[in-house]
Amino acid sequence: MLYAEFMPSALPPFPQPPESFEPPELLTVETAPDEPNLRADAARNRARLLEAATRLIAEHGVAGVTMEAVAAAAKVGKGTVFRRFGDRTGLLTALLDHGSRQLQADFMGGPPPLGPGAPPLDRLRAFGVAVLYRSAEQLDLQLAAQPDASRRFAHPSVRALRTHLTMLLRQTTPDADTDLLAHTLLGYLDPALIHHLTRQCGMPMERLEQGWLDLVERMTGRL
Protein backbone atom coordinates (compact mmCIF):
# COMPACT_ATOMS: atom_id res chain seq x y z
CA MET A 1 0.00 0.00 0.00
CA LEU A 2 1.35 3.44 -0.92
CA TYR A 3 1.13 6.36 1.48
CA ALA A 4 1.59 9.26 -0.93
CA GLU A 5 -1.69 10.75 0.23
CA PHE A 6 -0.04 11.53 3.56
CA MET A 7 2.61 13.80 2.07
CA PRO A 8 2.65 17.29 3.60
CA SER A 9 1.33 20.07 1.39
CA ALA A 10 3.70 22.03 -0.84
CA LEU A 11 5.24 25.21 0.51
CA PRO A 12 3.19 28.32 -0.20
CA PRO A 13 4.99 31.50 -1.29
CA PHE A 14 6.39 33.84 1.34
CA PRO A 15 5.42 35.87 3.28
CA GLN A 16 2.91 33.79 5.23
CA PRO A 17 0.75 34.54 8.27
CA PRO A 18 1.96 32.84 11.44
CA GLU A 19 0.81 29.28 11.99
CA SER A 20 -1.72 28.76 14.76
CA PHE A 21 0.03 25.56 15.87
CA GLU A 22 3.51 26.03 17.26
CA PRO A 23 4.96 23.00 19.08
CA PRO A 24 7.94 23.80 21.30
CA GLU A 25 10.61 22.30 19.05
CA LEU A 26 9.73 24.42 16.03
CA LEU A 27 12.60 26.21 14.37
CA THR A 28 12.51 29.97 14.87
CA VAL A 29 14.78 32.79 13.81
CA GLU A 30 14.92 35.43 16.50
CA THR A 31 15.31 39.16 16.05
CA ALA A 32 18.65 40.63 17.02
CA PRO A 33 19.05 41.21 20.79
CA ASP A 34 19.84 44.91 20.32
CA GLU A 35 16.43 45.59 18.69
CA PRO A 36 13.88 44.83 21.45
CA ASN A 37 11.54 47.63 20.37
CA LEU A 38 11.52 46.82 16.67
CA ARG A 39 9.71 43.48 16.62
CA ALA A 40 7.03 44.59 14.16
CA ASP A 41 9.62 46.09 11.82
CA ALA A 42 11.84 43.06 12.27
CA ALA A 43 8.99 40.72 11.34
CA ARG A 44 8.22 42.77 8.22
CA ASN A 45 11.89 42.85 7.24
CA ARG A 46 12.22 39.11 7.80
CA ALA A 47 9.20 38.38 5.59
CA ARG A 48 10.55 40.77 2.95
CA LEU A 49 13.94 39.06 2.95
CA LEU A 50 12.43 35.59 2.76
CA GLU A 51 10.21 36.68 -0.12
CA ALA A 52 13.27 38.01 -1.94
CA ALA A 53 15.16 34.78 -1.31
CA THR A 54 12.21 32.75 -2.59
CA ARG A 55 12.18 34.79 -5.81
CA LEU A 56 15.91 34.23 -6.26
CA ILE A 57 15.49 30.48 -5.89
CA ALA A 58 12.68 30.48 -8.46
CA GLU A 59 14.80 32.48 -10.92
CA HIS A 60 18.32 31.17 -10.31
CA GLY A 61 18.09 28.09 -8.09
CA VAL A 62 19.53 27.74 -4.61
CA ALA A 63 23.00 28.74 -5.86
CA GLY A 64 21.62 32.21 -6.59
CA VAL A 65 20.79 32.81 -2.94
CA THR A 66 23.65 34.72 -1.36
CA MET A 67 23.45 37.23 1.45
CA GLU A 68 24.44 39.99 -0.97
CA ALA A 69 21.89 38.95 -3.60
CA VAL A 70 19.08 38.78 -1.07
CA ALA A 71 19.99 42.20 0.32
CA ALA A 72 19.98 43.69 -3.18
CA ALA A 73 16.69 42.01 -4.13
CA ALA A 74 15.03 43.23 -0.92
CA LYS A 75 16.64 46.68 -1.23
CA VAL A 76 18.18 46.59 2.25
CA GLY A 77 21.73 46.69 3.53
CA LYS A 78 23.70 43.46 3.67
CA GLY A 79 24.10 43.91 7.42
CA THR A 80 20.33 43.58 7.84
CA VAL A 81 20.39 40.12 6.27
CA PHE A 82 23.24 39.01 8.53
CA ARG A 83 21.48 40.35 11.63
CA ARG A 84 18.29 38.48 10.79
CA PHE A 85 19.79 35.13 9.82
CA GLY A 86 23.44 35.00 10.91
CA ASP A 87 24.77 33.38 7.76
CA ARG A 88 23.63 31.81 4.49
CA THR A 89 22.79 28.51 6.18
CA GLY A 90 20.58 30.36 8.65
CA LEU A 91 18.81 32.10 5.78
CA LEU A 92 18.23 28.88 3.86
CA THR A 93 17.08 27.14 7.02
CA ALA A 94 14.54 29.90 7.58
CA LEU A 95 13.18 29.26 4.08
CA LEU A 96 12.48 25.68 5.18
CA ASP A 97 10.83 26.84 8.38
CA HIS A 98 7.27 26.85 7.08
CA GLY A 99 7.57 23.31 5.75
CA SER A 100 9.04 22.14 9.07
CA ARG A 101 6.21 23.78 10.98
CA GLN A 102 3.57 22.26 8.70
CA LEU A 103 5.06 18.78 8.96
CA GLN A 104 5.24 19.00 12.76
CA ALA A 105 1.67 20.26 12.90
CA ASP A 106 0.61 17.32 10.71
CA PHE A 107 2.26 14.60 12.79
CA MET A 108 1.43 16.14 16.17
CA GLY A 109 -2.14 17.25 15.55
CA GLY A 110 -3.19 16.40 12.00
CA PRO A 111 -5.46 13.61 10.75
CA PRO A 112 -4.38 9.96 11.06
CA PRO A 113 -2.44 7.97 10.15
CA LEU A 114 0.25 10.68 10.24
CA GLY A 115 -1.41 12.43 13.16
CA PRO A 116 -2.87 11.06 16.42
CA GLY A 117 -5.63 8.48 16.34
CA ALA A 118 -3.92 5.72 14.32
CA PRO A 119 -1.95 2.77 15.75
CA PRO A 120 1.73 3.66 16.40
CA LEU A 121 2.98 1.36 13.64
CA ASP A 122 0.72 3.01 11.07
CA ARG A 123 1.89 6.43 12.23
CA LEU A 124 5.52 5.30 11.93
CA ARG A 125 4.95 4.17 8.35
CA ALA A 126 3.16 7.40 7.39
CA PHE A 127 5.78 9.57 9.11
CA GLY A 128 8.66 8.31 6.99
CA VAL A 129 6.70 8.59 3.77
CA ALA A 130 5.75 12.19 4.58
CA VAL A 131 9.36 13.14 5.32
CA LEU A 132 10.60 11.37 2.17
CA TYR A 133 8.30 13.29 -0.13
CA ARG A 134 8.82 16.62 1.61
CA SER A 135 12.60 16.21 1.29
CA ALA A 136 12.36 15.21 -2.37
CA GLU A 137 10.14 18.22 -3.06
CA GLN A 138 12.70 20.64 -1.59
CA LEU A 139 15.86 18.62 -2.12
CA ASP A 140 18.26 21.32 -3.34
CA LEU A 141 17.20 23.65 -0.55
CA GLN A 142 17.38 20.85 2.02
CA LEU A 143 20.95 20.03 1.01
CA ALA A 144 22.11 23.65 0.92
CA ALA A 145 20.56 24.39 4.32
CA GLN A 146 22.12 21.49 6.19
CA PRO A 147 24.14 22.73 9.20
CA ASP A 148 27.73 21.64 9.66
CA ALA A 149 28.47 18.33 11.38
CA SER A 150 28.74 19.87 14.84
CA ARG A 151 25.19 21.28 14.64
CA ARG A 152 23.43 18.92 12.27
CA PHE A 153 21.92 16.45 14.72
CA ALA A 154 21.23 19.04 17.42
CA HIS A 155 19.21 21.32 15.16
CA PRO A 156 15.70 21.98 16.56
CA SER A 157 13.86 20.67 13.50
CA VAL A 158 15.94 17.45 13.50
CA ARG A 159 15.42 17.03 17.24
CA ALA A 160 11.67 17.33 16.73
CA LEU A 161 11.68 14.56 14.11
CA ARG A 162 13.88 12.33 16.25
CA THR A 163 11.76 12.90 19.36
CA HIS A 164 8.61 11.94 17.47
CA LEU A 165 10.25 8.83 16.02
CA THR A 166 11.51 7.79 19.45
CA MET A 167 8.01 8.12 20.90
CA LEU A 168 6.51 5.94 18.17
CA LEU A 169 9.27 3.36 18.52
CA ARG A 170 8.73 3.14 22.28
CA GLN A 171 5.10 2.30 21.59
CA THR A 172 5.93 -0.37 19.00
CA THR A 173 9.23 -1.83 20.27
CA PRO A 174 9.43 -0.93 24.00
CA ASP A 175 12.31 -3.34 24.72
CA ALA A 176 14.63 -1.83 22.07
CA ASP A 177 17.12 1.02 22.34
CA THR A 178 14.67 3.39 20.75
CA ASP A 179 16.97 6.43 20.90
CA LEU A 180 19.51 4.73 18.64
CA LEU A 181 16.86 3.18 16.43
CA ALA A 182 15.41 6.65 15.85
CA HIS A 183 18.82 7.82 14.59
CA THR A 184 18.96 4.80 12.29
CA LEU A 185 15.56 5.50 10.81
CA LEU A 186 16.37 9.18 10.31
CA GLY A 187 19.48 8.11 8.41
CA TYR A 188 17.22 6.55 5.78
CA LEU A 189 15.44 9.91 5.44
CA ASP A 190 18.62 11.96 5.08
CA PRO A 191 18.36 14.44 2.17
CA ALA A 192 21.88 13.56 0.96
CA LEU A 193 20.88 9.90 0.69
CA ILE A 194 17.64 10.78 -1.07
CA HIS A 195 19.64 12.90 -3.52
CA HIS A 196 22.05 10.04 -4.19
CA LEU A 197 19.34 7.42 -4.67
CA THR A 198 16.96 9.49 -6.79
CA ARG A 199 19.27 11.71 -8.85
CA GLN A 200 22.47 9.70 -9.05
CA CYS A 201 21.05 6.17 -9.00
CA GLY A 202 17.78 6.99 -10.75
CA MET A 203 15.55 5.27 -8.21
CA PRO A 204 11.87 6.28 -8.27
CA MET A 205 10.33 7.66 -5.12
CA GLU A 206 7.96 4.71 -5.02
CA ARG A 207 10.93 2.40 -4.44
CA LEU A 208 12.19 4.57 -1.56
CA GLU A 209 8.69 4.56 -0.09
CA GLN A 210 8.48 0.78 -0.23
CA GLY A 211 11.99 0.59 1.23
CA TRP A 212 10.90 2.69 4.21
CA LEU A 213 7.87 0.50 4.82
CA ASP A 214 10.03 -2.63 4.61
CA LEU A 215 12.60 -1.15 7.01
CA VAL A 216 9.89 -0.30 9.53
CA GLU A 217 8.42 -3.79 9.33
CA ARG A 218 11.80 -5.42 9.91
CA MET A 219 12.89 -3.04 12.66
CA THR A 220 9.67 -3.49 14.60
CA GLY A 221 9.72 -7.29 14.26
CA ARG A 222 6.75 -7.54 11.93
CA LEU A 223 8.80 -9.56 9.40
The CATH code of the domain that includes 202 is: 1.10.357
Better-predicted residue by pLDDT, 142 or 185: 185
Task: Provide Rg for the chain, Cα atoms.
Answer: 18
Burial of 148 (0-12, 13-18, 19+ CB in 10 A): exposed
Residue-number span of the structural domain to which 170 is assigned = 97-219
* Average pLDDT for the chain: 83
Specify the pLDDT at position 223.
64
Helix and strand counts by DSSP (H, E) for the chain: 12, 0
Q: In terms of domains, do 103 and 156 share one?
A: yes
Domain contains 169: yes
Domain contains 25: no
What is the end-to-end Cα distance of the chain in Å, rounded?
16
Q: In terms of domains, do 206 and 121 share one?
A: yes
The number of domains in the chain is 2
Cβ contact 26:156 at 8 Å: yes
Distance (Å, rounded) from C-alpha 199 to C-alpha 56?
Answer: 23
Q: Which of 5-9, 75-79, 85-89, 101-105 has the lowest mean pLDDT?
A: 5-9
Better-predicted residue by pLDDT, 43 or 123: 123
Q: Which of 19-28, 38-47, 57-66, 116-125 has the lowest mean pLDDT?
A: 19-28
Specify the pLDDT at position 37.
44
Say if pTM beats, i.e. exceeds, 0.85. Answer: no
Q: In terms of domains, do 110 and 194 share one?
A: yes
Q: Which of 3-12, 45-54, 72-81 has the lowest mean pLDDT?
A: 3-12
Q: Which helix (H) or strand (E) holds 61?
A: none
Cβ contact 58:192 at 8 Å: no
Distance (Å, rounded) from C-alpha 59 to C-alpha 199?
Answer: 21
Distance (Å, rounded) from C-alpha 117 to C-alpha 44?
Answer: 38
Quote the DSSP letter at residue 1.
Answer: -
Torsion of CA 143, 148, 154, 155, to 10 degrees: -50
Domain contains 120: yes
pLDDT above 60 for 25 = no
Q: In terms of domains, do 76 and 119 share one?
A: no
Over residues 190-216, the mean pLDDT reads 97
Specify the pLDDT at position 22.
34
Q: In terms of domains, do 105 and 55 share one?
A: no
pLDDT above 50 for 23 = no
pLDDT above 80 for 27 = no
pLDDT above 60 for 78 = yes
pLDDT above 80 for 8 = no
Give the Å distances, CA to CA, from 115 to 12, 29, 105, 109: 21, 26, 8, 5
Q: In terms of domains, do 108 and 188 share one?
A: yes
Q: In terms of domains, do 122 and 57 share one?
A: no
